[in-house]
Amino acid sequence: MFFRILSFLALTFSLMVFNSCKTEETNPMGSQQGNISIDATNSRMFVQRDLNNQGKIVLVGQSSQTFSSAQVKFKNILGGKETDWLNLSKEGASFKGEFLLQAGGYYPEIKLIQDNKTISDTILTKSPFKVGEVFAIIGHSLAEGQPPYELTDYDKEWCEVIKYSDNNVVAFWGRLADKLKVRYQVPIRFYSTGIGGSTSEQWGKSALGLEFSSTLFDWKKRYPYAFFENKILSEVPKSGLRAILVIHGENDATTSMDNIIKYTGIYMDYTREILQSKNLTFMLARSNRGLNKTEDLHVQEAQNIMLKTLPNVVEGANLQSVVGAGFRWDGTHFNYAGLEEAARKWDIMFEPKLFGQMTPILRNR
């Protein structure tokens, strides 16, 4: 009898443990994320902040659970300001909302309601929403990045480097994003659209479809500019844009000063036209090999003139001071130390007053 009692108690205990575990596994709070998903294609999860330090995001999602209404609360993780519970519109199994958020990084908490009872709420840990700064890049190989030299140890949660092709590496753009994120407490995105081997003249001529001679680019297809154009026309209307960063110079040594100025102005004006933003800012780096030889001096002078005369062009990083074997492994391209210094040189140009001079493009779809 004693052993039967022990066996009964053991069985009872086992069933209690089993049922306890089973309850935990099927607890709605433990499986919420599987029932709610964000539609990343139709949501607008990274947007450029406006001059009032705000941005409109769009949240679109769906749930496999039946619900009569839905609400969302945005919890600020990087800067920003947490919201109250906000109503989402409902259509079938889907929900949607457009919300004006303070600049910062957020995770949304979704609440599903059925018959006046909350049936689900969860932190959607895989779907952060970001209101911050968005930049695109024009330039040659220093802008594109050259393997194996790239700085990959940056905060990828709040700093994005979106490459136009698999050939690009993140170069120093992730590091620069990290610095700007820390300084301004907002997420940062770069469209990495630099194209190695290109010149200022080729960018200007290809923007207009003008003929030029090159073993790398087919002018009939409007390369290299078309690579850049396709990316920004696809992405900028959804995200917005603060400014375009320009790194040209090293490849312009055989281009005349007049043509550097002329064709740089052409691709800048054309970019403003296709993005319908006549005041779009370009940040022009002082970039050349810094050798102060005849083949470099006219490039330096062209950049000086453009910074003084071209409209809505402001000074970018002084990369001509990042020179020598300690920074450029082949005399032109940055090694790791060069990448670190390039990020630092860009960072110091982004003073708070600069943002007041740059009118952003805001999301329009």
Q: What is the 3-state secondary structure (H, E, C) of 149-197?
A: ECCCCCCCCCEEEEECCCCCCCCCHHHHHHHHHHHHCCCEEEEECCCCC
* pTM listed for this prediction: 0.88
Q: Residue 236 is part of a domain; what is its CATH number?
A: 3.40.50.1110
What pLDDT sits at residue 166? Answer: 74
Is residue 63 domain-shared with residue 189, that is, in the same domain? Answer: no
Give the domain-ending residue among 89, 105, 127: 127
Is residue 169 domain-shared with residue 304, that is, in the same domain? Answer: yes
Residue 119 lies in a domain: yes
Q: What are the two backbone dihedrals, phi and then psi, of residue 16, each rounded to the nearest 5 degrees?
A: -60, -45
What pLDDT sits at residue 90? Answer: 96
Residue 222 lies in a domain: yes
Is residue 118 domain-shared with residue 225, that is, in the same domain? Answer: no
Q: How far apart are CA 166 and CA 162, in angstroms?
A: 10
Residue 22 lies in a domain: no
Is residue 88 domain-shared with residue 201, that is, in the same domain? Answer: no
Is residue 259 domain-shared with residue 239, that is, in the same domain? Answer: yes
- The residue segments making up the domain with residue 259 are 132-357
Is residue 102 domain-shared with residue 151, that is, in the same domain? Answer: no
Domain count along the chain: 2
Residue ranges of the chain with pLDDT lower than 70?
Answer: 1-34, 125
Residues 6+ apart with CB under 8 A from 347: 176, 179, 180, 183
58: β partners: 44, 98
Give the domain-ending residue among 72, 92, 127: 127
| Rg of the Cα atoms in the chain | 26
Is residue 300 domain-shared with residue 209, that is, in the same domain? Answer: yes
Residue 106 lies in a domain: yes
Is residue 288 domain-shared with residue 325, that is, in the same domain? Answer: yes
Cis peptide before 224 (omega within 30 of 0): yes
Is residue 122 domain-shared with residue 157, that is, in the same domain? Answer: no
Residue 3 lies in a domain: no
Give the domain-ending residue among 64, 95, 127: 127
Q: How far apart are CA 255 and CA 253, in angstroms?
A: 6
Is residue 255 domain-shared with residue 335, that is, in the same domain? Answer: yes
Enter the tokens of residue 209. Answer: 């479809």
Enter the tokens of residue 306. Answer: 């453009």
Q: What is residue 81's three-state secondary structure?
A: coil
Q: Residue 54 is part of a domain; what is its CATH number?
A: 2.60.40.10
Is residue 199 domain-shared with residue 113, that is, in the same domain? Answer: no
Residue 223 lies in a domain: yes
What pLDDT sits at residue 123? Answer: 74
Is residue 182 domain-shared with residue 263, that is, in the same domain? Answer: yes
What pLDDT sits at residue 17? Answer: 33
